[in-house]
């Protein structure tokens, strides 16, 4: 049950020939895969392709009807290894992940896959998490394509091009026996639009039509085969790819009247470039441009004859290439030099060496290039609508004084844990233990818990990768004044942490503490299901509806750790802050050698609310006695020191103007989004906060007895209540 349901959208995947399909980029890709006759799909979730996994998950019916096999793989390496199905058989398949992080994880399998080569089309859809909205370090996938000799598609970001390029990509893969990277940028994944569908194709082979096992020993990556593989890559597959790309016109040339200059762009940046030209009066909104444009829908490899042809009559060409290093620029320079071309290629001299090609960056780069060309007399009679100075000024229209005022008055909004998040009490507990035993050096990991490194918890020193926190504590652990502390999510644990972390730590007599945050889902990527579940029978920590049988294939984190040799292991509900503090202290002070593991359990609250809200509403509407809880702060008792907020950071725990005119500082306040998780109360007790917090239980559909008691109590209390103090002034 992922965060977003595509149950309605997946019906569009059944569209037949000529039907118009409307939707997002990721939906278009899924449809294109089905139109291409894939036999298997898989992948690992992560922005920006999380939704692609969600669409596939929600499309199980469509997939199984066609005979397409789908796996939500354990990691990107698992997904990449799936592609080996296409080495010996003419079977098409596709996998997807977040890049470059996922590509890093998958690299071992990808290198071997690329060495062996494929006979069935094999495609990796990489969500290029680069630029604004990215959640990872800034690198490009391009390098992976170059080093393994895989081809990299980067289509124009409209749904028709996106769909067309998936289909062509499989043909290219088969024509050149090479696996393909298909790159989708963040905004391209979420862009909306429409395309004309084709009827889905059932896979040639699959569960409905089995293959005859076929052994081709020369494809196995052992010497001497690997030497031959390298030769084939360069001498056979590469030329085959270049001629396919050229013959099928995968790259596009748009002619323009100013033939002396030219623009080269990757498909993904094409729309931004057209807008820049439009704003200079050099194109219309339909893409008709006065300047010639060469669009690289295949970013790797380059096609020498196309480059030569495009540049032949041009004095100057500007290449729009995103990020660094400038691989395409280097490639084009080599090609032009080898061809003894006199065309001057501009790229990173004009455009920034790092960062995304945004609208502003593209317009500014284009304008600088054209201003230079105009100065040199290459573009007679051409007048630009905007000068580079004007464009630069657009980026900051504010007077210095107003700029300063805004800087002071626009608060930062870092990502944080959601309302009621089970990880919040864990970090409250760690923060409190730190006051006794700290300060701490903490090895953090990838996941929602990464947000603990931000305000208000400020816990965590390094993040080395998914599931790598425990591994990353091993170098520093002997040098720390306290036992090493690593925090990992359940997602990271199953992805990588069990092997890279736990097994290795046990083997090396690691004496530190590993906290596995078990919220029952891969929560940060959108709440996808993972192997482990949170135990049933706990009111707040369960991921299973009461009365429901637990999932039969549940894989236990605790069992896995024990299997890997961990002796000291405790499973604790995160919402029990006191118990968590005692256990943390115990783990950090015990004399018992070896790795200590605390499985901190509590269901992801976003998922929990999605799960229980309908149940609760149904209960209330059908007349069942139901209690709903939430918290409340007495603004008369609150002194406005906000210690509770510094320990929690819950979005529903906020502030409001102090109702007492004597007090200047705002009081803490619980808004109506509170889900009553109980952390505020736990913190009051464990951190000895103020007596302002109350839990309010709202009772729906009371029984007669409830009413009787309530009325009786109210009557007695009313009799006891103090007379109002009459103020003498």
Partner 1 sequence: MTNSNPHTLNIVAAALGGEGGGVFTNWIIDVAALNNWVCQTTSLAGVAQRTGATIYYIELIQNTAAKSKPVMSLFPAQGDIDVVITTEIAEAGRMIQRGFVSKDRTSVITSTHRVYGITEKMDLTDGTIDSQAILQIAQKYAKSLLSYDMANIASEHNSVISAVLFGALAGSDTLPFSKASYTQVIEQTGKSVSTNLAAFEASYQTAKSKGVGHYSPTTSKDNCAAVKFQLPETATQRGQPLLEQIRRLPEPAHHLAYLGTQRLIEYQDIRYATQYLNHLSEITQLDVGDDTFDLTTNVARYLALWMSFEDIPRVAQQKIRAHRENSIREEVQAESGQIITVSEYFSPQLEEVCGMLPRGLGAWILSSPINKVMAFFMGGRKLKTNTVAIYAALRILASLRHIRRGSLGYHLEHKQIDKWLAAIIEYAPRNLDVAQELAKCGRMIKGYSHTRRRTTTQLASIISATDEKTSAHEIFEWRSAALANDEEALTVH
**Residue choice 208, 337, 353, 685 for contact with partner 1 (CB under 8 A):** 685
Phi, psi of 382 (to 5 degrees): -95, 125
Task: Candidates 389, 539, 664, 704: give the one binding partner 1 (CB under 8 A).
Answer: 664
Interaction with partner 1 in 437-476: which residues (CB under 8 A)? 448, 451, 455-456
Least distance (Å) between residue 667 CB and partner 1: 11
Task: Please report whether residue 539 would count as binding partner 1 according to CB under 8 A.
Answer: no
Shortest distance (Å) from residue 300 CB to partner 1: 22
- Chain residues 195-234 in contact with partner 1, contact rule CB under 8 A: none
Q: Using CA atoms, how far apart are residues 268 and 639, in angstroms rounded to an integer?
A: 54
**Closest residue by Cα to residue 282 from 253, 248, 321, 256:** 256
Helix (H) or strand (E) holding 81: helix 76-82
Q: Is the peptide bond before 237 cis (omega within 30 degrees of 0)?
A: no
Site for partner 1 in 245-274 (CB under 8 A): 270-272, 274
Given the structure tokens 């009557």, which residue do they identify? Answer: 715
Question: Of 219-227, 294-302, 509-517, 717-725, which segment contacts partner 1 by CB under 8 A?
Answer: 717-725
CA angle, residues 335, 338, 343, in degrees to nearest 5: 70
Token output for 70: 């789908």
If the CB atoms of residues 49 and 79 are measured against partner 1, the closer one turns out to be 49
By the rule CB under 8 A, 594 interacts with partner 1: no
> Which of 7, 479, 539, 729 contacts partner 1 by CB under 8 A?
729
* Cis, bond preceding 48 (omega within 30 deg of 0): yes
Q: Which is nearer to partner 1, 215 or 413 (CB)?
A: 413
Among 158, 472, 500, 532, binds partner 1 (CB under 8 A): 158
Phi then psi dihedrals of residue 323, to 5 deg:
75, -165
Binding status of residue 241 toward partner 1 by CB under 8 A: no
From residue 510 to residue 529, the character string flagging contacts with partner 1 as x (rule: CB under 8 A) and all else as - is --------------x-----
Which CB, 467 or 676, lies closer to partner 1? 676
Cβ proximity to partner 1: between 220 and 690 the closer is 690
Q: Is the dihedral of CA 133, 134, 140, 141 positive or negative?
A: negative
Does position 636 interact with partner 1 (CB under 8 A)? The reply is yes
Please, what sign has the CA dihedral across residues 639, 641, 647, 652? positive
Which residue among 225, 260, 462, 639 contacts partner 1 (CB under 8 A)? 639
Q: In this chain, which of 203, 347, 416, 512 binds partner 1, going by CB under 8 A?
A: 416
Which of 138, 288, 536, 556 contacts partner 1 by CB under 8 A? 288
When the beta carbons of 56 and 150 are compared against partner 1, the nearer one is 56
- Smallest CA-to-CA distance from 371 within 352, 387, 392, 389 is with 387
- Restricted to residues 323-342, the positions that interact with partner 1 (CB under 8 A) are none
Selected from 381, 389, 409, 548, the binder of partner 1 by CB under 8 A is 409
HSE of 666, CA atoms in CB hemisphere, 13 A: 10
Work out whether 700 is an interface residue with partner 1 (CB under 8 A): yes
Q: Which stretch binds partner 1 (CB under 8 A): 66-74, 281-289, 302-310, 585-593?
A: 281-289
Half-sphere exposure of 250 (CA within 13 A, CB side): 31
Q: How far is the CB of 646 from partner 1 (least distance, A)?
A: 5
Task: Confirm or reject binding of residue 640 to partner 1 (CB under 8 A).
Answer: yes
19 binds partner 1 (CB under 8 A): no
**243 touches partner 1 (CB under 8 A):** no
- Binds partner 1 by CB under 8 A, chosen from 398, 480, 562, 563: 398
In terms of CB distance, is 362 or 583 closer to partner 1?
Answer: 362
First to last CA, the chain: 62
Residue 137 interacting with partner 1 (CB under 8 A): no
DSSP string, 55-73: HHHHTHHHHHHHT-EEEE-
Q: Which one of 66-74, 323-331, 588-596, 628-636 is the stretch in contact with partner 1 (CB under 8 A)?
A: 628-636
**Footprint of partner 1 on residues 341-360 (CB under 8 A)?**
358-360
For residues 596-615, which are near partner 1 according to CB under 8 A?
none
Which of 85, 74, 302 is CA-nearest to residue 203?
A: 85
Q: Is 665 left (phi over 0), alpha (psi -120 to 50) or beta?
A: beta
Segment contacting partner 1 (CB under 8 A): 198-206, 242-250, 407-415, 486-494? 407-415
Q: Which residues neighbour 100 within 8 Å (Cβ) at sequence distance 6 or greater? A: 126, 129, 136, 139, 140, 141, 144
Select from 223, 411, 537, 623 the one that contacts partner 1 (CB under 8 A): 411
Q: What is the largest CA-CA distance in the chain?
A: 102
Of the pair 281, 563, the CB lying nearest partner 1 is at: 281
Distances (CA, A) of 140 to 181, 324, 683: 12, 7, 44
- 506 is a contact residue toward partner 1 (CB under 8 A): no
Binding to partner 1 by residue 7, rule CB under 8 A?
no
Nearer to partner 1, 131 or 531 (CB): 131
CB of 519 to partner 1, least distance (A): 13
Is 515 exposed, middle or buried (CB count within 10 Å of its CB: 0-12, 13-18, 19+)? buried
Residue 112 or 271 having the CB closest to partner 1: 271
Q: Which of 11, 221, 480, 699 binds partner 1 (CB under 8 A)?
A: 699
Give the one residue of 231, 338, 613, 707 binding partner 1; rule: CB under 8 A: 707
Among 354, 381, 407, 622, which residue sits at the site for partner 1 (rule: CB under 8 A)? 407
Spell out, one character per residue from 179 to 198, where the chain touches partner 1: x when CB under 8 A holds, - when not.
Answer: ------xxxx-xxxx-----
Q: Closest distance between partner 1 and the C-beta of residue 78, in Å?
A: 23
363 binds partner 1 per the rule CB under 8 A: yes
* C-alpha radius of gyration, the chain, whole number: 30
Cβ contact 64:40 at 8 Å: no
Residues 63-122 within binding reach of partner 1 (CB under 8 A): none
Nearer to partner 1, 398 or 615 (CB): 398
Instruction: Pick the piece of the chain touching partner 1 (CB under 8 A) from 77-85, 87-95, 558-566, 665-673.
Output: 665-673
DSSP letter (8 states) at residue 526: T
Cβ count within 10 A of residue 8: 8
How many residues bind partner 1, per CB under 8 A? 130
The DSSP bridge partners found for residue 193 are 23
Give the whole-angstrom CA distance, residue 141 versus residue 149: 12
Listed in sequence order, the DSSP H helices in 339-443 are 359-375, 388-395, 400-409, 423-437
When the beta carbons of 18 and 691 are compared against partner 1, the nearer one is 691
CA atoms within a 13 Å half-sphere pointing along the CA-CB vector of 498: 20
Q: Does an H or E element contain 680, and which?
A: helix 679-686
CB of 523 to partner 1, least distance (A): 9
| Phi, psi torsion values for 254, nearest 5 degrees | -110, 120
Please choose, out of 44-52, 70-78, 325-333, 509-517, the segment that lies near partner 1 by the rule CB under 8 A.
Answer: 44-52
Residue 709 φ/ψ region, left for φ over 0, alpha for ψ in the -120 to 50 degree band, beta for the rest: alpha
**Which lies closer to partner 1 via its Cβ, residue 201 or residue 642?**
642
Give whichever of 87 and 370 is closer to partner 1, judged by the CB atom. Answer: 370
Taking alpha carbons only, the member of 569, 585, 539, 587 closest to residue 429 is: 585
By beta-carbon proximity to partner 1, the closer residue of 190 and 201 is 190
Calculate helix-pair angle for 50-58, 25-35, nearest 10 degrees: 50
Taking the C-alpha atoms of residue 150 and residue 83, their distance in angstroms, rounded to an integer, is 13
CA–CA dist 564, 556 (Å, integer):
12
Length of the chain: 729
141 vs 158, beta carbon nearer partner 1: 158
């Amino acid at each position: 049950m992922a965060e977003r349901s595509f149950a309605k959208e997946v019906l569009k995947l059944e569209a037949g020939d000529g039907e118009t399909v409307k939707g997002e980029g990721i939906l278009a890709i899924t449809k294109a895969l089905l139109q291409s006759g894939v036999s298997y799909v898989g992948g690992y979730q992560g922005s920006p392709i999380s939704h692609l996994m969600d669409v596939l998950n929600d499309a199980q019916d469509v997939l199984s009807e066609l005979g397409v096999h789908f796996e939500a793989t354990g990691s990107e390496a698992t997904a990449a290894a799936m592609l080996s199905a296409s080495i010996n058989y003419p079977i098409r398949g596709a996998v997807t992940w977040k890049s470059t992080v996922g590509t890093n994880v998958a690299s071992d399998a990808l290198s071997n896959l690329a060495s062996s080569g494929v006979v069935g089309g094999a495609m990796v859809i990489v969500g290029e998490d680069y630029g604004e909205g990215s959640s990872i370090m800034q690198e490009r996938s391009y390098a992976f394509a170059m080093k393994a000799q895989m081809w990299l598609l980067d289509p124009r970001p409209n749904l028709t091009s996106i769909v067309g390029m998936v289909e062509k990509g499989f043909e290219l893969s088969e024509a050149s026996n090479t696996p393909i990277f298909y790159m989708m940028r963040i905004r391209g994944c979420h862009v909306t639009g429409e395309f004309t569908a084709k009827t889905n194709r059932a896979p040639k082979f699959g569960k409905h039509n089995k293959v005859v096992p076929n052994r081709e020993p020369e494809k196995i990556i052992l010497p001497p085969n690997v030497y031959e593989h390298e030769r084939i890559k360069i001498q056979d597959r590469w030329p085959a790819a270049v001629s396919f790309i050229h013959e099928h016109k995968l790259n596009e040339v748009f002619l323009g009247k100013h033939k002396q200059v030219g623009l080269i762009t990757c498909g993904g940046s094409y729309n931004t470039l057209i807008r820049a030209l439009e704003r200079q009066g050099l194109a219309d909104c339909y893409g008709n441009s006065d300047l010639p444009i060469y669009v690289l829908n295949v970013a790797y490899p380059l096609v020498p004859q196309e480059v030569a042809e495009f540049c032949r009559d041009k004095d100057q060409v500007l290449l729009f290439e995103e990020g660094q290093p400038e691989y395409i620029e280097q490639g084009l320079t080599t090609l032009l030099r080898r061809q003894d071309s006199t065309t001057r290629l501009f790229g990173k001299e004009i455009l920034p060496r790092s960062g995304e090609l945004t609208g502003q960056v593209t317009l500014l780069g284009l304008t600088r290039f054209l201003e230079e060309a105009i100065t040199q007399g290459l573009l007679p009679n051409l007048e630009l609508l905007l000068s580079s100075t004007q464009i630069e000024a657009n980026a900051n229209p504010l007077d210095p004084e107003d700029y300063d005022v805004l800087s002071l008055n626009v608060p930062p909004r870092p990502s944080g844990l959601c309302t009621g998040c089970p990880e919040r009490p864990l970090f409250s507990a760690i923060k409190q233990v730190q006051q006794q035993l700290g300060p701490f050096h903490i090895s953090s990991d990838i996941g929602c818990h990464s947000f603990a490194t931000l305000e208000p918890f400020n816990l965590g020193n390094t993040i080395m990768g998914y599931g790598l926190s425990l591994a990353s504590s091993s170098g520093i652990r002997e040098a720390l004044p306290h036992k090493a502390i690593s925090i990992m999510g359940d997602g990271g644990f199953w992805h990588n942490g069990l092997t890279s972390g736990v097994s290795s730590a046990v083997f090396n007599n690691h004496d530190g503490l590993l906290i596995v945050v078990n919220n029952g889902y891969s929560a940060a990527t959108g709440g996808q299901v993972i192997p482990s579940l949170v135990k049933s029978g706990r009111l707040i920590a369960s991921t299973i509806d009461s009365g429901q049988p637990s999932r039969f294939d549940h894989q236990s984190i605790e069992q896995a750790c024990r299997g890997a040799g961990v002796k000291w292991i405790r499973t604790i509900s995160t919402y029990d802050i006191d118990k968590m503090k005692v256990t943390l202290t115990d783990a950090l002070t015990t004399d018992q050698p070896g790795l200590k593991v605390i499985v901190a359990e509590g269901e992801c609250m976003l998922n929990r609310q999605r799960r229980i809200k309908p149940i609760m509403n149904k209960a209330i509407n059908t007349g069942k006695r139901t209690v709903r809880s939430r918290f409340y702060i007495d603004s008369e008792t609150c002194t406005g020191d906000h210690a509770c907020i510094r320990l929690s950071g819950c979005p529903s725990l906020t502030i409001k103007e102090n109702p007492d005119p004597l007090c200047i500082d705002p009081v803490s306040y619980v808004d109506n989004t509170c889900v009553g998780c109980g952390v505020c109360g736990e913190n009051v007790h464990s951190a000895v906060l103020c007596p302002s917090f109350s839990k309010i239980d709202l009772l729906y559909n009371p029984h007669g007895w409830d009413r009787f008691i309530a009325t009786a109590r109210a009557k007695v209390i009313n009799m006891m209540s103090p007379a109002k103090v009459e103020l003498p002034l």
